[in-house]
Amino acid sequence: MHDKNFEYYRKVRNNGGIVYNNDNQCWEIYSYEACKYALMHDYIFSSNPEYAGGNGGLSFINMDNPEHKEYRNITAPYFMATKINNMESNIADISNKLINNLNANSDIVKDYAVKLPVSVISELLGIPETERSKFKEWSDYIIGNKRDKNFDNVNNYMVNKLSELFAGNYSNGIISVINSGSVNNKNLDIREKIGYIMLLIIGGNETTTNLITNMLKVLSDNNDIMKNLNNDRDLHSFIEETLRYYSPIQFLPHRFIKEDTEINGVKMNKGERLSLFLGSANRDEDMFDNADKFILRDKNEHIAFGRGSHMCIGAPLARLEANIALNDFLENYKKIKIDNKKSMLLENPMVYGYQKMFFE
Ligand code: HEM
């Protein structure tokens, strides 16, 4: 995703904000109100691909209520801010170690922004210390959707190890919560349990990595802002504004129309697909004054974490990790300047973030 896409978003918003993409056979929604409308009306705009002729998934991000809620609720209480905030000193330790190991040649993506969320999620899941490095390898495959000759080994190893933990009534972390959780009074089967863990890995890692690098980009581009981040309230506004301005997920490609409907007078048919451009909605001038400016706002109702029933379960965790990362970079660096020649944004238009980042 490149910054020039923001100009394209604006053009589409100025022309009604809804277009049909013939190549992808998909409606694309660019305005804030219309995105929010689709997110909030999940009984019309389903998350289940079966409504557009696709295959349903194992994970609850592709289910509709009431089934979705049953799966989500197994772990939801453990992701609430009150629970997650207990991890603060743990996360601070991880971040501290990583930041102390950085040097002038470090790739901030590889050496910090990728490692922090993966370590945190293995802690939260309760992966035993001895399995952490294999788990990290497995996560890298899952996050990168990468397949090579070593993949089968790592995947089989980790699936067997998790199955062993499940079978042995392992009593640590979210793994044990998933293990004892039930839907309709039935425990999840092994495929569902592994699928649940994979969803948490996919949902929670690259997104948080990107939020961290995007905060560093803002600091690099606005040295005056860096000097003025003095208290918790400023840090909070800074993180929320980064989520709005450079939304880690630029669009959600998976909503499926369950019955003929319309948005803003545009008729849509049952069985059609919808992409919701959160990154454009968050730059909508009808919603945000000076939307193309980075401003520490008092009120910031961005939808970078989505809205409605599927709203990000990991938002409190992502915010906590971002807060700790931001604090650590502010403490350890007097000035942050990204080396634009050596750094590179991710090519994938669905996400905003860096594939590599070096400081000058
Ligand atoms: C900056 C970081 C993050 C961003 C921008 C982000 C964004 C999102 C968005 C937009 C959705 C809504 C998807 C939809 O409506 O279809 C979502 C859902 C989800 N996220 Fe996140 N996320 C982040 C971090 C995390 C973390 C840290 C975790 C877990 C550890 C996580 C786990 C999930 C899960 C499991 C869902 C599915 C929720 C459901 O379907 O009910 N996310 N996320």
Q: What pLDDT shows up at residue 84? A: 96
Q: What pLDDT shows up at residue 46? A: 97
Q: 10 CA distance to ligand 1 centroid (A)?
A: 25
What pairs with residue 69 in β-bridges?
Answer: none
Q: 305 CA distance to ligand 1 centroid (A)?
A: 6
Distances (CA, A) of 49 to 46, 62, 253, 257, 273: 8, 7, 11, 9, 9
Ligand 1 atom closest to residue 248's alpha carbon, by position in its atom list: 5
Q: What pLDDT shows up at residue 289? A: 97
Q: What pLDDT shows up at residue 169? A: 79
Q: What pLDDT shows up at residue 78? A: 96
Any ligand 1 atom below 6 A from CB of 306 = yes
Q: 201 CA distance to ligand 1 centroid (A)?
A: 10
Structure tokens at 253: 């490609």
- b/e 200-235 (16+ beta carbons within 10 angstroms → b): bbbbbbbbbbbbbbbbbbbbbeeeebbeebeeeeeb
Any ligand 1 atom below 6 A from CB of 213 = no
Distance (Å, whole) CA 170 – CA 65: 30
Architecture of the CATH domain 4-114+205-356:
Orthogonal Bundle (1.10)
Distance (Å, whole) CA 353 – CA 330: 20
Q: What pLDDT shows up at residue 162? A: 93
Task: Report yes or no: 9 and 258 within 8 Å, Cβ to Cβ.
Answer: no
State which of 40, 45, 305, 324 you would mutate to test the pocket of ligand 1, scoring each by most atoms of that ligand within 8 A of its C-beta: 305
What pTM was computed for the model?
A: 0.96
Q: What pLDDT shows up at residue 140? A: 85
Q: What pLDDT shows up at residue 168? A: 87
Q: What is the residue-level pLDDT of the chain in tens, covering all 360 positions?
A: 889 999 999 999 999 999 999 999 999 999 999 999 999 999 999 999 998 888 877 789 999 999 999 999 999 999 999 999 999 999 999 999 999 999 999 999 999 999 999 999 999 999 998 998 899 889 888 887 778 899 999 999 999 999 999 998 788 899 999 999 999 999 999 999 999 999 999 888 999 999 999 999 999 999 889 888 878 889 999 999 999 999 999 999 999 999 999 999 999 999 999 999 999 999 999 999 999 999 999 999 999 999 999 999 999 999 999 999 999 999 999 999 999 999 999 999 999 999 999 999
Q: 243 CA distance to ligand 1 centroid (A)?
A: 13
Ligand 1 atom closest to residue 68's alpha carbon, by position in its atom list: 41
State which of 207, 211, 276 you would mutate to test the pocket of ligand 1, scoring each by most atoms of that ligand within 8 A of its C-beta: 207
